[in-house]
Amino acid sequence: MSRFLKEQYQAMEAYTPGEQPRDMQYIKLNTNESPYPPAPSVVEAMTGEQVELLRLYSDPTAKNLKEKLAGMYGVRPENVFVSNGSDEVLNFAFMAFGGQGVVFPDISYGFYEVFADLYAINAEKIPLEEDFSIDYHKYCGKNKLVVIANPNAPTGMTLPVEQIEEIVKSNPDAVVVIDEAYVDFGGETCLPLIRKYDNLLVTRTFSKSRCLAGGRLGYAFASPEIIADLEKIKYSTNPYNINRLTLLLGEKTVEAEGYYQEKCREIEETRAWTAAKLEKLGFTVLPSKANFIFVKTDKMDGGELYRTLKAKGILVRHFTNPRICQYNRVTIGTKAQMEAFVDTLKEVLL
Ligand SMILES: *Cc1c(COP(=O)(O)O)cnc(C)c1O
């Protein structure tokens, strides 16, 4: 740390991304990326000509992409925001709507706490229930920014849309952010509620189900007024927040919806297969609607299992938070990757 850093940032702890090691080839099941490449039409869109066009700024209004997203999801372009990964729209939401404080579950996406720290927003963390579910009553009538990932991370567990509606309805003077990063793997979206409530912000990403984590593209839906607020923040920080190539790939991705639906169904099948195998090995597997499962075994400490797997070339995500340190989060890869994962588990546990 230099002596120049503002005092408010000195004690702040930054977000720790999942490791992206370069020392060897791992079966990478630690950051919830897709094991599949983008659709062929997306790959083919990336030409030398497009790279040459990088001399020009990207479209700050992202008009084409917004129109395509609006068309696919049955909303108006004024209901759509696009961002440099969904981390960026979450960042903007904390910046814009955190004035009265924020509330989120104690076990959830680690970035929420980082954003609260970054903007010195008072954060209330509500413990998940014993079974890691969310009791929606505890988020009603808060009238401060509410942030819930649905499905939640790293549990993969979901909240029914009717319960989300109760949260939104009971917090009319605050924004409720529902982070749907993992909704495409069998979850239920609360998107239709944006027509009824002007305080709901639904965030999404191309990183998980759209095989574009390295492209950095996120999007969100809300009332035109909330979108306008987010645009104001964007134009005050980085008007060209999405590069030309990513905008183009995003448009092509929306056009290739069928391909991605198919890949999501494959992930769901592989998830069910993996969960059944692990249960047979005696694992506890939380019920997941995401592209990962959250698992523990009595046969080995969570941290030790993570290290053992890593030594054998398989990376999973381990969290040191005492409440979940016996668990590991395992991204659903291809069937072949999961077979290798299960075989390795048998080798180290049996
Ligand atoms: C991965 C993830 C995101 C952010 O992903 P981006 O790559 O920034 O789009 C947001 N929320 C949750 C819960 C995630 O797991």
Per-residue pLDDT of the chain (350 residues; tens, 9 = 90+): 999 999 999 999 999 888 888 888 999 999 999 999 999 999 999 999 999 999 999 999 999 999 999 999 999 999 999 999 999 999 999 999 999 999 999 999 999 999 999 999 999 999 999 999 999 999 999 999 999 999 999 999 999 999 999 999 999 999 999 999 999 999 999 999 999 999 999 999 999 999 999 999 999 999 999 999 999 999 999 999 999 999 999 999 999 999 999 999 999 999 999 999 999 999 999 999 999 999 999 999 999 999 999 999 999 999 999 999 999 999 999 999 999 999 999 999 98
Alpha carbon distance 178, 64 (integer Å): 25
Closest by CA to 91, choosing from 230, 266, 187, is: 230
Ligand 1, residues 16, 33, 83, 86: which to mutate, most atoms within 8 A of Cβ? 86
- Output the residue whose Cα is nearest ligand 1's atom 5: 86
CB 202 within 8 A of CB 194: yes
User: What integer pLDDT is reported at residue 254 of this predicted model?
Assistant: 98
Q: Could you tell me if the CB of 35 is within 6 A of ligand 1?
A: no
CB 93 within 8 A of CB 145: yes
User: What integer pLDDT is reported at residue 24 of this predicted model?
Assistant: 83
**Phi/psi at 110 (nearest 5 deg)?**
-60, -20
Other Cβ atoms within 10 Å of 305 Cβ, number: 22
CB 148 within 8 A of CB 105: yes
Q: Could you tell me if the CB of 177 is within 6 A of ligand 1?
A: no
The token duo for 10 is 């000195």
87 CA distance to ligand 1 middle (Å): 6
User: What integer pLDDT is reported at residue 22 of this predicted model?
Assistant: 85
Q: Where are the alpha helices (DSSP H) in the chain?
A: 7-10, 40-44, 48-52, 63-73, 86-97, 111-118, 161-169, 224-237, 244-255, 257-280, 302-311, 335-349
The token duo for 256 is 């290739």
Measured between alpha carbons, how far is residue 198 from residues 48, 76, 213, 225 in Å? 43, 14, 30, 8
- Ligand 1: atom nearest CA of 149 is 13
Tell me the residue type at 103: V
Alpha carbon distance 77, 246 (integer Å): 19
Alpha carbon distance 87, 15 (integer Å): 11
User: What integer pLDDT is reported at residue 345 of this predicted model?
Assistant: 97
User: What integer pLDDT is reported at residue 19 of this predicted model?
Assistant: 85
